[in-house]
Amino acid sequence: MNLNVNDIAALASLDLTPQESEAMQKDLASILDYVAQLSRIPTDGIEPMAHIGARLQPVESQNPELTLRADAARPSFPQPEALANAPAQAGGMFEVPKIVERG
């Protein structure tokens, strides 16, 4: 796989100096080499894992590091108060100016 840092930077709307581009190209090559090494690891017979949540203990676990808290709504600002100082709002939401232009 041949990826060019300048193409990726353009997609991310980043302006890189030639020095940054060169350094990033080396970093990208190193990352891709590492991924290639990982792809050669035999994984036959290993069940895919969609996410690590399956490994976590349920709420009230004996191991606090692996405990998920219960999801509960908590008090917050009323919507009118949250929007009171907004320079612009629309439909009960903050309205922000568009800052990304694609050409």
Domain count, the chain: 1
Q: Do the domain assignments include residue 51?
A: no
Q: Do the domain assignments include residue 60?
A: no
Q: Do the domain assignments include residue 7?
A: yes
What is the per-residue pLDDT across 62-89, written as a single tens digit (0 to 9) for each? 666 666 677 888 999 899 999 999 999 9
Q: Are 100 and 13 in contact (CB under 8 A)?
A: yes
What is the per-residue pLDDT across 5-26, written as a single tens digit (0 to 9) for each? 999 999 888 999 999 999 999 9
Q: Do the domain assignments include residue 25?
A: yes
CATH number reported for the structural domain that contains residue 5 in this entry: 1.10.20
Provide φ and ψ at 94, rounded to 5°.
Answer: -65, 135
Q: Do the domain assignments include residue 23?
A: yes
Domain range holding 15? 1-43
Q: What is the DSSP string of 8-26?
A: HHHHTT----HHHHHHHHH
Q: Do the domain assignments include residue 81?
A: no
Q: Do the domain assignments include residue 56?
A: no
Cα–Cα distance, 28 to 38 (Å, whole number) = 15
Q: Which residues are within 8 A (CB) of 22 and not within 5 positions of it... i.e. 6 or more apart? A: none
Query: pTM (2 decimals)?
Result: 0.49
